[in-house]
Structures are given as C-alpha cells and as structure tokens.
Amino acid sequence: MQIFKNLFSSSKLTKPIDLSVLKTDMHSHLIPGIDDGAESLDKSIELITGLAQLGYQKLITTPHIQGDFYKNSRQNILPGLEQIRRELKKQNISIQIDAAAEYLIDDQFEAKYKSGDLITFGDKYLLVEFSYFNEHPNWKRFFFELQIEGFNIILAHPERYSYWYRNFSKYEELKDRGILFQLNTISLTGYYSIEVKKMAETFIDKEMIDFAGSDLHNLIYLEALQNARFEHYLEKLINSGKLLNAKL
Ligand SMILES: [Fe+2]
C-alpha cells in the first residue's frame, strides 16, 4: 500500500487545477512593510496580481501579530489595506481585498483578546498560529474563552507543528474542540519539508482540513503555489467538498 501512496504523491497532474474554484484566499502577508511579507507597495501589487491570475477573486490578507516582534494592530493594518486598494484601483486590477490578522498564541495573546479588539473576518473567524518550537501551555483555556465569546478559531498550517507529529491525538483534540484547520496549499509541494508534506496529506486523507490558504509572503511562495496546482492531493482536498473558502 505504502508504495502506491508514494507513487500517488510523487506523480503530478498533467493539467493544473483551476484555483478559481476556491474563490477566496484567507491567509497571506500582503500589507507592505509591516511583517515578513511584501516589503513595498510594488511587491504587494505584484503578489496580488499573481493571485488574481491564479483565479482568486477575493483576498483576506492576514499580517502577523506577534508579541514584541510584529506589533501590528488595526491602527496600521487598515491604512495599509487602504493604500493597496487605492493602488489596485489606479492600476485597474480587479480583485477584492480585505484584511484581518494572523495571531501568534504567545504569552501576550491573552491581553490582546481580553482587550476585546481582535481582528476577525467572515463568520467571526479568528486566524491563529502556534509557535514552531513548542506547545503553548495555556492554549486550551485561551481557545475555550474565545469560543465562549463566539469566535470561530482557525488554526493556520497545522501541518507545520512538528512537536505534534508523534502525538496525532493533539490534532484530534483540536478538532473535537471545534477548531478549524487551514492547510498551506504549498505544503503539498514539499516546499517546507517532506515531513510537512506528509502531514498535509494525512490531514487531507482524514478530511480534517476546512480552509486552504496561500500564506503568501513573496514571489518564491507564489511560484510554489503555481506548482501546487499540479498536486493530486490538492485535487483530493478540493473534491472533498469540505473547504469553506468559497463561502467567505
Ligand atoms: Fe502566515
């Protein structure tokens, strides 16, 4: 069986998948100069044009908000969004763009949600990520308190948290607690590592993915996203009928 699985994941589709079926991308770093994504307005426009060419009709861009590292907030995200919208209009590029954020679950996160000023999108969706190094000791309480307040939590790229690879029950617990999973589409190409690719495929096999996101930061990611369109597993994910992207 394993040999067939390997063949399946290494062969490519002959025709690219049309990403317009997803309609909306809900994870990217396109606001210029405020995180590790687009460094300038020109780069933002170049990346957005690339996403539009792939078929996306709407983008919800999600700058990092992380402790002392990326101290972003509504105060700089919204003016950045307006800057992009003005430039898109000027250049006659037709795509809808909104902004939210990607919150790191760190020691400063609790104060952020207790201030009552989290940036969400759609159905009170809140995009969060964990550290890549270790599990935060308080995530269960944080998520519970947020859910009481009506937030629908989306965990960004669950396939990238290697400390849980040998403890799959953690992922099952998250799902049991109603946490939605957003896969980075480019994980399917092996962009991050072969282990990340395998986890991405496992989540798809188990129908645990609710959103597909580009997590676009720069042109290298864009190229990986173009390549991801040839992955059988992306086709399988889209055909699962479970993705919520088009409802945003
Ligand atoms: Fe991200």
Give the end-to-end CA distance of the chain in Å, rounded to a whole number. 38
Other beta carbons within 10 angstroms of residue 219's beta carbon come to: 13
2 Cα–ligand 1 center, Å = 32
**156 C-alpha to center of ligand 1: Å?**
7
Per-residue pLDDT 10s for the chain (248 aa) are 555 555 555 689 999 999 999 999 999 999 999 999 999 999 999 999 999 999 999 999 999 999 989 999 999 999 999 999 999 999 999 999 999 999 999 999 999 999 999 999 999 999 999 999 999 999 999 999 999 999 999 999 999 999 999 999 999 999 999 999 999 999 999 999 999 999 999 999 999 999 999 999 999 999 999 999 999 999 999 999 999 999 99
CA-closest candidate to residue 32, choices 95, 97, 104, 96: 97
Per-residue confidence (pLDDT) for residue 68, from 0 to 100: 87
Q: Which CATH superfamily is domain 19-247 in?
A: Metal-dependent hydrolases (3.20.20.140)
How close is the Cα of 110 to the center of ligand 1, in Å? 20
Ligand 1 centroid vs 141 CA: distance in angstroms? 23
**Neighbouring C-beta atoms of residue 71, cutoff 10 Å:** 13
Cβ count near 169 (within 10 Å): 9
Ligand 1 center from residue 7 Cα (angstroms): 30
Sequence-distant (≥ 6) Cβ neighbours of residue 150 within 8 angstroms: 124
Separation of CA 102 and ligand 1 centre (Å): 6
Ligand 1 center from residue 89 Cα (angstroms): 26
> H or E segment at 86?
helix 74-90
Ligand 1 centre to CA of 92 (Å) is 27
In the reported structure, the alpha carbon of residue 38 is separated from the centroid of ligand 1 by a whole-number distance in angstroms of: 12
Going by C-alpha positions, the residue among 221, 103, 233 that lies closest to residue 155 is: 103
Distance CA 166, CA 117 (A): 36
Ligand 1 center to 64 CA (angstroms): 7
Which H or E element spans position 216? none
In the prediction, which pLDDT does 2 show? Answer: 56
Residue 8: the pLDDT is 56
Structure tokens of 127?
A: 């995009």
Q: CA nearest 59: which of 222, 240, 229?
A: 222
